[in-house]
Amino acid sequence: MKQGLQLKLGQSLTMTPQLQQAIRLLQLSTLDLQQEIQQALQENPMLEVDEEVPENDSDGNDAVNERANEGPLDNPELSANASDPNADGDFEPTMPDDLPVDTQWEDILPSSAPAPMSEAGEDFDFDSRNGAGESLKDHLLWQLNLTRLSEKDQIIALAIIDATDTNGRLNSSVEELLELFPPELDIEDDEVVAVLHALQQFEPVGVFARDLQECLLLQLRQIPADTPWLEQARILINRHINQLSNGDFAQIMRRMKLPEEDLRSVLRLVQSLDPFPGKQIGDDDTEYVVPDVFVSKKEGRWVVELNPDTAPRLRINSHYAGLIKRADSSADNSYLRDNLQEARWFLKSLQSRNETMMKVASEIVRRQRNFLEYGDEAMKPLVLHDIAEAVEMHESTISRVTTRKYMHTPRGIFELKYFFSSHVATTSGGACSSTAIRALIKKLIAAENARKPLSDSKLAQLLEEQGIQVARRTIAKYRDSLMIPPSNERKRLV
């Protein structure tokens, strides 16, 4: 094989570290971005939080951009300011040698910040704000520890609790539970049933039920005996639960020999029961969404503003930047130079993220103005390519911007991806958004007669009368996405 040299011309895309950082910041959510900024503040001494917010600066974009370009090599004033260690107004307190016994720290040291207090002025409750919620299993184990059981019954009770899901439903039969115990314990099925009946007295009422029927009966047993229609409710659950699930109220009235008005009263009592009692106790904490963009109507125009609280305002530390010397090639000076350059890149990446977010959000608001005015039914079809073409960016960039980013509107808080949806052709030759079709389906079902709910075919027919051609299967798919049961399950007597 002969070796040789060749010259080739070609084009390739190389992602610089600055570009990689800008792309990574662009796809971060608000919480991840705050963590990234905190990490940058800890690792880079050139970055600091700018706590002096100008009164007329709403989003801080110009300030960030200006601070990203300043430094000792561009701004000679930084070196002059850095020569004075007290130029930034820092105060170094001196401690006296002798302190009185009753001296308070506040009398010696100037207070830089008030003590953390809640908005109502009450003491901060750390446990209630940050404590993990109690799970259903923990709640059941706590009650088990208060119950006097033998050692064998304790083992059976622990196995039953482990076989219970978060809804409070027991997922294993007695035979399946018996297979879990070692043979030397010699546990029989009547012992498991006895422990199960004891556990079914725990709170919340209805836990450890093996099916829906048993769950409702357990709750009915805890209701006072003098409650009106209690006996009829037990008969209904015991004997006619299949007819109740199918909505066959005529057969129930005939078999129970009840008039319609009395059956209404019985159903009200049954509907007051909880089919999933375990959900009353759970460890799911409430998750709060911080919007990235605020949209409001001012003087007849929709205005888009970035949320200034999503990230702190950053700037270059003038003191450390002033220590950099032009002709010095020492390790310390190189360290400061590298950190200064990284700080500038980081600030420019934040600025680019804000500008891109503003462009995309403004274009979405411009195209979905009817949604902001009239609601989901006025949502227009929109895809990523439409926004990418309007703001002259790639679709992948738009996808990164709209993922895990939220917009606060007068109609609520929505993820930016919510405004994108496919379209369905109309009889007039136009297009209708799938989000608008879902809203129409929800509106039609909300206004239907509970005795004769609308079927999927009837919903398709009603939409066709409004000029929207949707197949029955599409109606069923949209209805399932809205978590709306089929017509036979929506049938109600009350």
Neighbours of 287 (CB within 10 A): 5
pLDDT at 269: 92
pLDDT digits (tens, 9 = 90+) for 418-432: 999 887 777 777 788
Banded pLDDT at 25 (limits 50, 70, 90) = confident
- Of the candidate ranges 7-21, 73-87, 246-260, the one whose mean pLDDT is the lowest: 73-87
CATH of domain 422-494: 1.10.10.60
Q: Is the pLDDT of residue 199 over 50?
A: yes
pLDDT at 127: 45
Separation CA 37–CA 43 (nearest Å): 10
Separation CA 192–CA 35 (nearest Å): 51
Task: Enter the pTM of the model.
Answer: 0.63
Beta bridge partner(s), residue 426:
468
Domain ranges of the chain: 27-50+60-83+285-420, 135-282, 422-494
- Of the candidate ranges 17-26, 32-41, 56-65, the one whose mean pLDDT is the lowest: 56-65
Nearest Cα residue to 67 out of 317, 415, 409: 317
Those residues whose C-beta lies under 8 Å from the C-beta of residue 292, and which sit 6 or more positions away, are 30, 306, 307, 310, 357, 361, 405, 406, 407
Task: Say if CB 486 and CB 454 are below 8 A apart.
Answer: no
Region 3-30 average pLDDT? 81
Banded pLDDT at 304 (limits 50, 70, 90) = very high
Separation CA 304–CA 405 (nearest Å): 14
pLDDT at 55: 53
Banded pLDDT at 494 (limits 50, 70, 90) = low
pLDDT at 370: 92
Q: Is the pLDDT of residue 121 over 60?
A: no
pLDDT digits (tens, 9 = 90+) for 210-258: 999 999 999 999 999 889 999 999 999 999 888 888 778 888 888 998 8
- Of the candidate ranges 119-123, 186-190, 289-293, the one whose mean pLDDT is the lowest: 119-123
Banded pLDDT at 133 (limits 50, 70, 90) = low
Those residues whose C-beta lies under 8 Å from the C-beta of residue 254, and which sit 6 or more positions away, are none
Banded pLDDT at 332 (limits 50, 70, 90) = confident
pLDDT at 372: 92
Separation CA 48–CA 52 (nearest Å): 12
Helix axis angle, 230-239 to 249-256, nearest 10°: 120
Most confident by average pLDDT, 74-83, 100-109, 113-122, 445-454: 445-454
pLDDT digits (tens, 9 = 90+) for 36-62: 999 999 999 999 988 765 555 444 444
Beta bridge partner(s), residue 296:
303
pLDDT at 220: 93
Q: What is the mean pLDDT of the chain?
A: 80
